[in-house]
Chains A and B, each alone.
Chain A
Amino acid sequence: MAQAQALATHPTSNITPEKVREGIELEINGRQFRHTGDADMPLLWYLRDVLRLTGTKYGGEHGLGGADLVLVNNKAVSAITLPMHQVSGKKVTTVEGLAAVDGKLHPLQQAFVDEDAIGCGYCTPGWLIASLDLLNRHPHPGDNEIEQLPNLCRCGCQTRVRRAIKRAAAAIDGGRA
């Protein structure tokens, strides 16, 4: 009897229930991530140091030159100018996320390969992101639109990038047809 009563009492526990986890949630290349470190850390260092996604390059503290461009909710933004708290809940695409899962290159990537629009290759991921942003806004960009790209390149890939963007626009069109 005494024993049965003891069993009926709910036992006390040392385990405290799990609190709602803190952190910044965001989606990168289709996958969910939670950043629990410094909310002021720029997205660039989160990508490069924490996730080891090193395709997005460091160009400078002010994000000039375009090497650190990523797409945030489909718009090109310099990753070093974006603290993590500003990308909470957003969708980020880096150069690593452009190709299809089966490895098939995005038409823009393929066009850069076909036009050999590559110098040393360091600034290329940034050019790709800026170009994709451009094609999202202008599916048939003219020279005036292409010339709005902010990217810099000392190797001199600009004329070949111009050709690659036009080639990609045509290829995407062809794909739709």
Chain B
Amino acid sequence: MSHRHDDNVTLNDIGLNDIGPVRPALPSRRRFLQVLAGTAGALIVGIRLAEATDVPVPPALLGDTLYGLGAYVRIDADGNVLIGARDPDTGTGTATALPRIIADELDADWARVSVVQLGLGVENGNGEPRWIYGHQTGGLGDSIPAAWNDLRQAGALARWLLMQAAARRLGVPADRLRTQAGWVIAPDGRRFDYGSLADAASKVAPPQNAVPVKTPDRYTLIGQPAGDVDARAIVTGQAAFAIDSTYGDTLVAVLLHCPWADGSLVSKDFTDAEAVKGVVKVVELKPEPGLLPGDTVLAPSVAVLAEDTWSALQGRAKLKLEWKAGPSGGENSAALEQQANDLVNDKNAVPSTRVRNDGDVDAAGKKAARRVEAVYVQPWLAHATAEPMNCLARVDKERATLVVPTQAPQHAWAVVQRLTGFKPDQIDIRVPRVGGGYGRRLDHDFVAEAVMLAKLADKPVRLLWTREEDFGHDYYRSSSVHKLSATLDRKRQIVSWDQRMASASALAQRHVPDSRLWTSEVDANQLPAGLVPNYRSDWYSLQSAIPRGPHRGMPHVSNAFAVESFVDEIAHALKEDPLTTRLRLIGEPRTIPLQSGGSLDTGRLINVLKLVADRIEWKNWLRTVNGLGIACWHINGTYVAHAVEASMQGEKLNIERVVCAVDVGRVINPTGLEGQVAGATLDALSSALNLAITFKDGQPQQRSYKDYPLATLAQLPDNVEVITVPSDRDPAGASFLAMPTAAPALANAVFRVSAVRVRRLPLMKELRRLL
């Protein structure tokens, strides 16, 4: 098995331009399978999903699910199998997991499977884009569920066709045949390999009904560990990221952005920069408002175009520019925090969103035996992707070809379309492996810049943001202040919970189609909603002109830190073991409906809590010299708990042990899942320990890893013990599930070992201040 990127693969490249007539099968209402007779006796299978005319549902209700030919599998006469991976892989493992879902249904021999990373699949549907691969976003935790819903059919259909072909050849009914690792096997032991059947299978009439998918007892790859399909290419330096891509006649572009995204250029002198050997052109980029979807801000800049990166950087150093601040120029993080503090403490402040209001918090509070209150402050954060923003753009008369490190190729397409006016299929978005996303690559400011520059230069342009630009022009995660207030009755039950959060919304400046879960910075279903009879959650909008955007695990990360630290504080006020407090708060195993649909299964939540407690030997909580801390959370039907053991030597904090339990339904690839869970745990710990962006006069004060010190090996635990709950439920995404609980579990352990309650992040700075 290997992974072919070649950064350039489209349907045409695999021979689909030579296909015979398309023969739609007739399965379920919104799902059509296609068999395509390829060249040279190959069998090619795709899925056609939900044509508006095929279903009795108005197109408007289908949204953008007007799919054409979807994800596919190709079996060649030599028995090699090629499977397309449609979602960008930002390190989340989808390029491995998605093809394995298809390969399992096909009963393919994984050793003979090549994975090909698909570019954006778009057709021209009367001037509107038709997304032919369906789901194509990465890092939002929905790649696996989407694949489970539609990709299995591609494998199942291909297998069915091969069995029909074998049945004819053997004169045996197909239902007496079985398949195994690339073979169709008859009861008498005769067998045909898939390659020898591919040609015949491509001529079999497709089934009248949907082909049943496998029952779980017959899975061969699903649930089995598999290494990353790109591993070999990565360790040999052959894996091409967008930043590694180029054309022969390409110019390199580097930028100097206006220090304020909403500022402007006052004076400029390009003379010295233009005189640098190798510099070809220096241009000012003045983005018009409305260029990016949802009025997302795009900073003005000056670009130096040169024959190579070194010349471009030298030219950039010689630019003489004077910038004028916009409204954000007056902003400071300390003042923004004060504003947030005022909002959560002002009893008369009207919330921007009343996220949830169960029972009567005020009335219940008056009768309470005791009240616990605390305020938590969390900083601005940057994305700090390993691969900085970059883009290769070639814009010819009738075609735009881009290599983009993106999590959302469809959004990148929209930006290119706006700038070129091209028809949908004149825009070719290619997505190689992506060097980290964490939400930064849902925005495409750098794509707009690359396209503008390619048009101006009339040559392909390879845009590179320096690390300083990358830190300085992020769509940051906003800081926040949480004020939590709970009242308890004499039986130690929490009878009311009042949460007030103030932050600058990530979504204020942009249009976001799925408003159901992202109406504000708080999930209406987050703990302990549904568990406390009188529960109120208010969100206050912090007014800021600093650009903000989605950030890994948002909004759960900041909310879980406040809530799960606060539960620990309640336990302390009750003078009891915080696990006991949590279990009493959660109560009996039952299901509680979520406002977003679905339900909270308290049994599954209790289970992950108990798993980490057992593993870390929570029974020693009182006795151990080290501190034990615990936290749990749920996100859309997935469950996570962390337990952390910490010790301190003077001011030095040691994270001795970290245990994480997750319940994500069926696990597709245990190796991949463990990597995601351990990785998210370390990422969350790194953020919580060290990281903060501060603003002075609207400018971020951190511009390199020196100022924004991601944790090194020495600061991180030696190991993350990952426990996965076995499950037959449909699989869910896990790319950020382990983010929310790691930091509060650590802070709770720190409290236990040091008696210092950290209510402000980053933790190390606050801990040193308080010790």
Residues of chain B from 347 to 403 with CB closer than 8 A to chain A in the complex: 384-388
Do residues B388 and A95 form an inter-chain contact, with CB atoms below 8 A?
A: no
A24→B435 CA distance, assembly (Å): 33
- Bound CA span A15–B435, Å: 53
Q: Scan residues 20-65 of chain A and give those whose CB is less than 8 A from a CB of chain B.
A: 38, 41-42, 45, 48-50, 52-62, 64-65
B712 contacts A147, CB within 8 Å? yes
Query: Complex formed: what's the CA distance from A123 to B706 in Å?
Result: 17
Residue pair B90, A99 in contact (C-beta under 8 Å): no
Contact B436 A155, beta carbon cutoff 8 Å? yes
When C-beta atoms are compared, the residue in chain B nearest to A96 turns out to be B237
Q: Does B384 lie within 8 Å of A56, measured CB to CB?
A: no
- Contact indicator B712/A120 (Cβ below 8 Å): no
Alpha-carbon gap, A58 to B463, bound state (A) = 13
* Contact indicator A95/B237 (Cβ below 8 Å): yes
Query: Would A60 and B675 be within 8 Å (CB), given that A120-B434, A121-B230, A158-B682 are in contact?
Result: no
Measured between beta carbons, the chain B residues less than 8 angstroms from A114 are 227
**Do most interface residues of chain B lie in helix, strand or loop, or is the interface mixed?**
loop
| B562-582 CB contacts (< 8 Å) to partner A | none
Known: A55-B236, A62-B704, A119-B679. A152 touches B227 (CB 8 A): no
- Give Cα A146 to B712, complex, Å: 11
A contact residues around B493 at 8 Å (CB)? none
> Any chain A CB within 8 A of the CB of B718?
yes
Given A56-B237, A119-B679, A154-B436, are A159 and B386 also a contact pair (CB < 8 Å)? no
Q: In the complex, what residues of A have CB within 8 A of residue B232's CB?
A: 105, 113
Which residue of A is nearest B233, CB measured?
A: A121
Given A95-B235, A113-B231, A155-B436, are A54 and B240 neighbors across the interface (CB < 8 Å)?
Answer: yes
The distance in angstroms between the C-alpha atoms of A65 and B387, with both chains bound, is: 11
Asked if B436 and A122 sit within 8 Å, CB to CB, the answer is yes
> Residue A98 contacts which of B227, B236, B468 (CB distance < 8 angstroms)?
B236
Q: Which of B308, B671, B679 contacts A157 (CB 8 A)?
A: B679
Q: Is A116 an interface residue (CB 8 A)?
A: yes
How far does the alpha carbon of A61 sit from the alpha carbon of B385 in the complex, in Å? Answer: 15
Most B Cβ at <10 Å: residue of A52, A98, A116, A128? A116
| Interface hits, A115-159 → B, CB 8 Å | 116, 118-125, 128, 143, 146-159
Q: How far, in Å, is A61 (CB) from chain B's closest CB?
A: 6
Q: By the criterion CB–CB under 8 Å, are A158 and B228 in contact?
A: no
Contact A158 B231 (CB under 8 A): no
In the assembled complex, the CB of B681 is this many whole angstroms from the nearest CB of chain A, namely 7
Q: Are B713 and A147 in contact (CB under 8 A)?
A: yes
Cross-chain contact A156 with B236 (CB below 8 angstroms): no
Interchain CB contact under 8 A, B228 and A49? no
Q: Is the pair B468, A61 in contact by a Cβ cutoff of 8 Å?
A: yes
Tell me if B433 counts as interface (CB < 8 A to partner A). yes
A71 at the interface (CB under 8 A from B): no
With both beta carbons as reference points, the residue of chain B lying nearest to A111 in the complex is identified as: B235
Those of B213-262 within 8 Å (CB) of chain A: 227-228, 230-232, 234-241, 243-244, 246, 252
Q: Which residues of A contact B718 (CB under 8 A)?
A: 143, 159, 162
Would you give the shortest CB distance from A82 to chain B, in whole angstroms? 13
Contact A61 B467 (CB under 8 A): yes
Whether B309 pairs with A45 at a CB distance below 8 angstroms is yes
How far, in whole Å, are A148 and B433 apart by their CA atoms in the complex? 29
Q: Within the complex, what minimum Cβ distance (angstroms) separates B425 from chain A?
A: 30
Smallest CB separation, B466 vs chain A (Å):
6
Query: With a CB–CB cut-off of 8 A, which chain A residues contact B756?
Result: none
In the complex with contacts A147-B713, A156-B680, A119-B675 CB distance below 8 A:
yes
Question: Once the chains bind, are B237 and A156 in contact (CB under 8 Å)?
Answer: no
Q: How far is the CA of A154 from the CA of B736 in the complex (A)?
A: 13
B197 at the interface (CB under 8 A from A): no
Q: Are A125 and B713 in contact (CB under 8 A)?
A: no
A162–B713 Cα distance when bound, in Å, is: 8
Q: A147 and B235 in contact (CB under 8 A), knowing A120-B387, A120-B435?
A: no
Verify if A67 is at the interface (C-beta below 8 Å from B). yes
A118 proximity list for chain B (CB < 8 A): 91, 228, 230-231, 234-235, 675
Whether A60 contacts B235 by the Cβ 8 Å rule is no
Q: State in angstroms the CA–CA spacing of A143 and B717 once bound together.
A: 11
- Rounded to whole angstroms, the CA-CA distance of A151 and B234 in the bound complex is 16
Contacts of A112 in B (CB 8 A): 231, 235
Is B683 part of the binding interface, using a Cβ–Cβ cutoff of 8 Å?
A: yes
Chain A residues in 8 Å Cβ range of B464: 58
Query: Taking each of B235, B238, B310, which has the highest tally of chain A beta carbons within 10 Å of its own beta carbon?
Result: B235
In the complex the two chains form, is A150's CB within 8 Å of B712's CB? yes
The answer to whether A54 touches B91, judged by C-beta atoms less than 8 angstroms apart, is no
Residues of chain B contacted by A42 (CB below 8 angstroms) = 310
Query: Is A167's beta carbon under 8 Å from chain B?
Result: no
Q: How far is the CA of A109 from the CA of B238 in the complex (A)?
A: 13
List chain A residues, Cβ under 8 A from B704: 60-62, 64
Whether B679 contacts A156 by the Cβ 8 Å rule is yes
Q: Quick check: A45 and B466 within 8 Å, CB to CB? A: no
Which of A105, A116, A147 touches B671 (beta carbons < 8 Å)?
A116
**Residues in B neighbouring A96, C-beta threshold 8 A:** 236-238
Task: List the B side residues contacting A155 at CB < 8 Å.
Answer: 91, 386, 436, 679, 683
Q: How far is the CB of B140 from chain A (nearest CB, A)?
A: 16
A45 touches B310 (CB 8 A): yes
- Asked if B429 is at the interface (CB within 8 A of a chain A CB), the reply is no
Contact assessment for B433 and A49 in the assembled complex, using a CB-CB cutoff below 8 Å: no
Does A91 count as interface, using CB distance less than 8 angstroms?
no
- Determine if B678 is an interface residue (Cβ-Cβ < 8 Å): yes
Given contacts A105-B232, A116-B675, A159-B719, contact A122 B386 (CB under 8 A): yes
Chain B residues, CB < 8 A from A45: 308-310
A147 to B713 Cα, complex, angstroms: 5
The answer for the CA separation of A119 and B89 in the assembled complex, in Å, is 10
The one of B90, B309, B386 in contact with A153, judged by C-beta atoms closer than 8 angstroms, is B386
Of B277, B310, B706, the residue contacting A49 (CB under 8 A) is B310
Within 8 A of B (CB), among A70-116: 94-96, 98-99, 105, 109, 112-114, 116
Q: Which residues of A are found within 8 Å of B770, using beta-carbon distances?
A: none
Task: Report chain B residues within 8 Å CB of A123.
Answer: 386, 435
Docked pose: A120 CA to B704 CA in angstroms:
20
Q: Is the CB of B227 within 8 A of A116?
A: yes
| Nearest B residue (CB) for A46 | B310
The reply to whether B235 and A124 contact each other, CB–CB distance below 8 Å, is yes
The answer to whether B712 touches A116 (Cβ under 8 A) is no
Residue of B nearest to A121 (CB): B234
Chain B: minimal CB distance from A146 (Å): 6
Among B243, B435, B466, residue most surrounded by chain A Cβ atoms (within 10 Å): B435
A interface list, Cβ under 8 A from B = 38, 41-42, 45, 48-50, 52-62, 64-65, 67, 94-96, 98-99, 105, 109, 112-114, 116, 118-125, 128, 143, 146-162
A48-B309, A54-B243 given; 18 more Cβ-contact pairs under 8 Å: A42-B310, A58-B243, A60-B705, A62-B467, A112-B231, A116-B228, A116-B671, A119-B91, A119-B675, A120-B433, A122-B241, A128-B235, A147-B712, A150-B712, A154-B386, A156-B681, A157-B679, A160-B675
A/B interface sample: 19 pairs, CB < 8 A: A41-B310, A49-B252, A55-B236, A55-B237, A55-B238, A56-B237, A57-B387, A65-B386, A96-B238, A109-B235, A118-B231, A118-B234, A120-B387, A122-B241, A154-B436, A155-B386, A157-B679, A158-B713, A159-B717
